[in-house]
Structure 1
């Protein structure tokens, strides 16, 4: 299996790279600053790119089984500063995929990209109005773009709750198609467990062209 990972120097991208290498995957890490990725492995290729230029991305996507985007934006005071990171980067990613003939895409967003009834208190009253409202809004715009203009791409947008840097918990990760959040699930999840889920679904056709909320389920 060969994957291209964007955002590989960020905390979620790094865990995705490490998990993929542990599984024996061939990984192409596409980053702005290669010096920030200190992992060394014979199956890892690190390439410097401008993520907003599809002509730079396309050669590195070629022959990949999947493109995995772990790009993340910066929160702003009260979440007021508009963000276009997710939409701008996704347009260049999709353009590069079309150029290179790669169809499988997995991208990370979050719970609560659109307001819905019954969502957790922390999203409705803290995260959206005070911290990451700008990011959630742009994640939602990215999801809309994929849904409306990218039906030729086999995308899955993974919506996790709050991310932690803790090791994998060993708990099963459950997913529900089309949901903004999961009822009766913890509001945090390990980045490593998100990485595991994303790699597990590379060939899972039931989540193609879908946005799925994930979280921890109960062990049997």
Structure 2
């Protein structure tokens, strides 16, 4: 398969690129700073684009079997600065995908983007007020945009807990159709998230779903 990957220079995006190439797939990495992508390979093409412009994305989506977004931005400490990155970026991605006559989109947000009874205390009363409130709010808005406005697309949103840089554990990834995996760990490796996203793309799993993952 051929994947158009956004956020390929980020820590999770780089893991997806490596995993896809290791499994024999082709990747076109659509990035703002090509020099930040250290992975090389015969089946890897790196293109500098403006991710907020449909016209920059369109031609590269036309020949891809799926679009993978590992895009992310820095959190806003104490909510001092509003975040609109996720909604601002998903709209040109969706627009370009539609114009390219594509349908498969897999992107990543986080667990507990929406406040619900039973969410972990540390997330609702520590991390959201101090660090992640605006980030998770905008991720939630992006999820709503997909759920309400993108019924014509085969999207999957993967929702991991805290991400860590480590080798794949090889452990079975636990899943839940909702905000978080209640019986799961509070951390998961980026490589294992990348492997899960690749499996979703190849096997067409979790279509039009928001799937929480964990160990």
Instruction: State the partner residue of 2:163.
Output: 163
Counterpart CA distance in 2 for 1:206 and 1:9 is: 25
Counterpart CA distance in 2 for 1:56 and 1:44 is: 18
Counterpart CA distance in 1 for 2:189 and 2:122 is: 18
Q: Quick check: 2:154–2:207 contact (8 Å CA) kept in 1?
A: yes
Instruction: State the partner residue of 1:192.
Output: 191
Q: Does 1:202 align with 2:197?
A: no
Q: Does 1:22 align with 2:19?
A: no
Instruction: State the partner residue of 1:124.
Output: 124
Q: Quick check: 1:80–1:133 contact (8 Å CA) kept in 2?
A: no
Instruction: State the partner residue of 1:88.
Output: 88
Normalization by structure 2: what TM-score? 0.97
Q: Residues 84-163 of structure 1: matches in 2 within 5 Å?
A: 84-163=84-163
Counterpart CA distance in 2 for 1:36 and 1:202 is: 25
- Give 5+ residue unaligned stretches, structure 2: none
Counterpart CA distance in 1 for 2:166 and 2:79 is: 26
Counterpart CA distance in 2 for 1:66 and 1:147 is: 18
**1:10, distance to aligned residue in structure 2 (A):** 0.5
Instruction: State the partner residue of 1:57.
Output: 57
Counterpart CA distance in 2 for 1:88 and 1:45 is: 25
Q: Quick check: 2:4–2:60 contact (8 Å CA) kept in 1?
A: yes
Instruction: State the partner residue of 1:38.
Output: 38
Normalization by structure 1: what TM-score? 0.95
Show structure 1 runs of 4+ deviating over 2 A: 203-206
Counterpart CA distance in 1 for 2:196 and 2:205 is: 14
Instruction: State the partner residue of 1:69.
Output: 69
For residue 201 of structure 2, give the secondary structure of its aligned residue in structure 1: coil
Counterpart CA distance in 1 for 2:134 and 2:80 is: 6
Q: Quick check: 2:199–2:205 contact (8 Å CA) kept in 1?
A: no
Counterpart CA distance in 1 for 2:148 and 2:203 is: 21
After superposition, the CA RMSD in angstroms is 1.0
